[in-house]
Amino acid sequence: MTAVGIDAIEIRTGKLRLDLPETFAPAKGEDPGKYAKGIGIQYSSLPDVYEDIVTMGANAARELMDRRGLVPEDIGRIDVATESAFDNSKPVSTYIAGCLESVYDGDFHHANKGERKFACLSGTQSVDDAYNWIRAGRNRGRAALVIATDTALYARGDPGEATQGAGAVAMLIDEDPNIVALSTEQGYGSADETDFLKPNQQFPSVDGKRSIQVYLARMREALEDYESVAGDTHPDDFVYFPFHTPYPGMVRKAALLGYRHITRNTEVEDALAEDIGMQPREDDYGSREDYEEAIRGYMDELKETRRYQEWYEQAIDPTVDISGQVGNWYTGSVHVARLSALRAAIENDVALAGEKLLVGSYGSGAQAEIHAETVQEGWHEEVDAADVDQQLDGRYDLSFEEYELVHDAHNHEKEVDVDAFTQPSGEFVFTGWGRMNERRYEYVE
């Protein structure tokens, strides 16, 4: 069976950044450690006034296509995943295709276009759709372009304000991929939840404590479901574990839960038992409450063991580096986590070809998906070519007062006149509104 997976990847970050410990925390009168060490974010990426989900997605896609020498006729499908859409009928993919057609010869008239919505999970769902389309033999030799693009903004003063971010991830899905091949096995955990939602509103309504609980519960269910078809997992089976990363602090919780699960009934649990005992078994307790209290106690001890901390440092920590520099990208967050891990492997000269990743995606509302990916021979060259460092280092540093202005500029309920903080060059930009209230774009040389 021919492998299908991610053949190329590019990102586009918002061109502004807010330093949380140094700028945001003092303005809020808060401890800087709450951000860099607590939630794990140093900088939030924010869009300049001429940037939005279309420009970031189109710019990431164009960079990918140019680097790979692709033209519109090579693409048979364009899927956009977002929870920041501004039109309830016309998909963002059509706007992005229109941008790209303005700079390429040819068009995407025979490419299937769509838009996926399931909170942050929809980026992975779009990859799944492209995978299935190719596997079904309906692609006619063409590749799929999957773009996850979001502006994760919160109301001023909301607890989620510190996790804000803006950016896009463009991925080429094709046969014989250069980066990772996707497994046929998947696991799901899904339930009707109201942990995070946007009922006809721009900024989300979030039950923070509940959201963490739902995230962990759905991830556990998805892992159990994945193991029902792929067999038991083990820490040694996977070199990295990219998780959905709204902020690195939440990944710490998911990683601990996952490690406990995948070490159960293994030699790892036996070795750990010398220091912290065996994992509690529900049959040994008189009530569910007693069992859950024992589990919490076990996990408190587990996270302090050297064995767990070494595993976390090797398998999880590399996945959250970029997230800590850009904040939450919603639909793109797990794909940023994968890219972060692969970049760390390059920096540390880790040989990855043939190794596996266990990828955990999540979307509020709520659903999680677990699947495996096998790193391919061409991964190093493709990941090394992605334009990441230049974008991260080239962002404009906002003062708190400037942050307030740009936040107002992107607040749909406000009309403010804010000058751009950066000068666009060689990119797509938002230029205003058309006769039917549509958003308009052009390419700036």
Angle at 84 between CA 117 and CA 54, to 5 degrees: 105
Three-state SS at 348: coil
DSSP string, 154-220: --TT-GGGGG-EEEEEEEEEEES-SSEEEEEEEEEEE----SEE-TT-SSPEE-HHHHHHHHHHHHH
Name which of 144, 148, 142 is nearest 124 in CA terms.
Answer: 148
334 SS3 class? helix
Catalytic, out of 10, 115, 244, 382: 244
DSSP per residue, 11-24: EEE-SEEEEIIIII
The pair of three-digit structure tokens given for residue 239, joined into one six-digit string: 């070199």
* CA pseudo-torsion sign 408, 412, 413, 416: positive
Q: For the chain, state the CA radius of gyration.
A: 22
CA distances, 173 to each of 144, 364, 410 (Å): 5, 25, 32
Spatial separation of the C-alpha atoms in residues 202 and 149, rounded to whole Å: 15
For residue 335, indicate whether it is catalytic.
no
Tell me the CA end-to-end span of the chain in Å, nearest whole number.
44
- Is 120 annotated as catalytic? yes
* Catalytic annotation present for 99: no
114 forms bridges with which residues in the sheet?
79
User: Which one, of 244, 70, 242, 69, lies nearest residue 144 by Cα?
Assistant: 70
3-state secondary structure of 423: coil
Pick the catalytic residue from 83, 161, 221, 373.
Answer: 83
Half-sphere exposure of 313 (CA within 13 A, CB side): 8
CB 440 within 8 A of CB 433: yes
Closest CA to 305 of 279, 267, 278, 272: 272
Q: Which of 63, 99, 115, 120 is catalytic?
A: 120
Residues taking part in catalysis: 83, 120, 244
